[in-house]
Chain A
Amino acid sequence: MVDNYLFIGFVAFYLLGAVSALVFNKKDALCSYISFLSASIGALAGFAFSLSVILGDTFHFILNEGQIPEFGFFIDKLSAFFILVISISVFAVSIFSTGYVREYFGKKNIGYLCFLYNMFILSMILVICANNAIMFLIVWELMSVISFFLVVYEHEKIETRKAGFFYIVMTHIGTGFIILSFLIFAGTSGSFSFETFRAAGSTMTPFLKDSAFLFAFIGFGIKAGIVPFHIWLPYAHPAAPGNVSALMSGVMIKTAIFMLIRISFDFLGASQAWWGYSVLAVGTISAILGILYAVVEPDMKRMLAFSSIENIGIILIGLGASMIFLSNEKPILSAIAMMAALYHLLNHSVFKGLLFMGAGSLLYSTHTKNIEKLGGLIKRMPFSAILILIGVLSISAMPPFSGFVSEWLTFQSLLLTFNLDSNFAIIMLSISAAVLALTGALAAYCFLKFFGMVFLALPRSENAQHAREVNIPMLAGMGFFALLSIMLGILPAFILPMLDRIAASFIGTSGQSFSFGTFGTISIPSSAWISISTPGLLAIVLILMFIPIIILFTSKRNMPVYETWGCGQPFSTARNEYSAIAFSKPVQMWFKGLYRPAREMEVTYSSQYLKESFKFKSEIEQVFEKNFYTPVVDFVMAMSRKAKVIQTGSIHAYLGYIFGILVILFMFIIAGGS
Chain B
Amino acid sequence: MIIQLIFQTFLIIILAPLLSGIIKKVKSFFQIRKGPGILQPYYDLLKLVKKDSVISNNVSWIFHAAPIISFAAVLAAGLLIPIYITQLPLGFAGDLIAVIYLFALARFFTALASLDAGSSFGGMGGSREMFIAALVEPALMLSIFAVALNVGSTNLGFISQTVSGMGIDAMSPYQILAFVALFIIAIAETGRIPVDNPATHLELTMIHEAMILEYSGRQLAIMELGAMIKQLLIFSLLANIFFPWGIASQGAGASALVLSFLVFVIKILVIGISMAVVETSTAKWRLFRLPELLSISLMLSFLALVSFIIVKGG
Contact = CB atoms under 8 A, between A and B. Distances in A.
Genuine A/B complex:
yes
Interface of A: 376, 378-379, 393, 396-399, 404, 407-408, 411-412, 415, 418, 421, 423, 426-427, 430, 433-438, 440-442, 444-445, 448-449, 451-453, 455-458, 517, 519, 521, 523, 527-535, 537-538, 541-543, 545-546, 549-550, 553-554, 557-567, 572, 574, 576-579, 582-587, 589-590
Interface stretch (B30-38, B129-137, B248-256): B129-137
B92 A396 contact: no
Interface stretch (B19-27, B140-148, B234-242, B260-268): B140-148
B108 A562 contact: no
A586 B131 contact: yes
28 contacts: A376-B58, A411-B97, A426-B309, A430-B305, A437-B137, A441-B136, A444-B130, A448-B112, A451-B112, A453-B115, A456-B60, A458-B118, A531-B154, A533-B98, A535-B94, A541-B76, A549-B72, A553-B219, A557-B218, A559-B52, A563-B57, A564-B58, A565-B214, A577-B123, A583-B127, A586-B131, A586-B287, A590-B291
Interface string B92-121: 111101100110110010011001111111
Given A441-B133, A541-B93, A549-B71, A418 B149 contact: yes
A433 B52 contact: no
A402 to B, nearest CB: 13
Contacts of B133: 441, 444-445
Given A553-B218, A563-B57, A564-B119, A423 B309 contact: yes
- Report the interface size class on chain B: 35 or more
Given A546-B68, A563-B56, A452 B115 contact: yes
B39 interface: no
A586 B287 CA distance: 9
A559 B149 contact: no
A438 B101 contact: no
Contacts of A584: 127
Contacts of B43: none
A583 B115 CA distance: 10
Given A378-B62, A448-B112, A531-B153, A574 B118 contact: yes
A399 B108 contact: no
Interface in B148-173: 148-149, 152-155, 158
A397 B100 CA distance: 11
Q: Which 4 A-B pairs have the closest CB atoms?
A: A578-B123, A457-B118, A437-B141, A452-B115
Contacts of A566: 119
B92 A521 contact: yes
A532 B298 CA distance: 26
A578 B124 contact: yes
Contacts of A519: 92
A448 B130 contact: yes
Contact of A436 (B53, B102, B141): B141
B137 A559 contact: no
B52 A448 contact: no
A328 to B, nearest CB: 14
Contacts of A559: 52-55
A483 B69 CA distance: 19
Given A445-B131, A553-B219, A378 B118 contact: no
A561 B44 CA distance: 23
B121 A427 contact: no
B47 interface: no
Contacts of B116: 452, 456-457
Contact of A434 (B79, B219, B298): B298
Interface in B73-104: 73, 75-76, 79, 90, 92-95, 97-98, 101-102, 104
Contacts of B115: 452-453, 456-457, 578
A440 B137 contact: yes
Nearest to A532: B92
Contacts of B128: 586
A437 B302 CA distance: 14
B126 interface: yes
A13 to B, nearest CB: 41
Contacts of A535: 94
Given A537-B93, A549-B72, A549-B222, 5 more contacts: A434-B298, A457-B115, A530-B155, A561-B56, A583-B126
Given A421-B314, A444-B133, A576-B118, A398 B54 contact: no
Interface of B: 52-58, 60-62, 64, 67-69, 71-73, 75-76, 79, 90, 92-95, 97-98, 101-102, 104-105, 108, 111-112, 115-124, 126-128, 130-131, 133-142, 145, 148-149, 152-155, 158, 203, 213-214, 218-219, 221-222, 287-288, 291, 298, 302, 305-306, 309, 314
A399 B102 contact: yes
B123 A561 contact: no
Nearest to B301: A434
Nearest to B130: A445
A297 to B, nearest CB: 16
A562 B111 contact: no
Contacts of A553: 67-68, 218-219, 221-222
A541 B90 contact: yes
Nearest to B124: A578
A421 B312 CA distance: 11
Contacts of B76: 538, 541-542, 545
A562 B56 contact: yes
B138 A437 contact: yes
A84 B153 CA distance: 34
Given A554-B64, A560-B52, A564-B119, A438 B145 contact: no
Nearest to B78: A545
Contacts of A533: 92-95, 97-98
Nearest to A452: B115
Contacts of B138: 434-435, 437-438
Given A457-B117, A538-B93, A586-B127, A562 B153 contact: no
A368 B69 CA distance: 32
A433 B58 contact: no
A504 to B, nearest CB: 25
Contacts of B71: 545, 549
B134 A587 contact: yes
A458 B298 CA distance: 39
Contacts of B119: 564-566, 572, 576-578
Contact of A546 (B53, B54, B72, B141): B72
Residue of A378, A379, A445 ringed by the most chain B CB atoms within 10 A: A445
A456 B298 contact: no
Given A411-B141, A415-B154, A589-B288, A427 B305 contact: yes
A273 to B, nearest CB: 16
Contacts of A456: 60, 62, 112, 115-116, 118
Contacts of A543: 72
A396 B104 CA distance: 9
B134 A442 contact: yes
A448 B126 contact: yes
A558 B69 CA distance: 22
A576 B141 contact: no
Nearest to A537: B93
Nearest to A443: B134
Contact of B111 (A426, A442, A448): A448
A430 B68 CA distance: 35
B93 A415 contact: no
B118 A572 contact: yes
Given A576-B118, A577-B118, A437 B309 contact: no
A532 B95 contact: yes
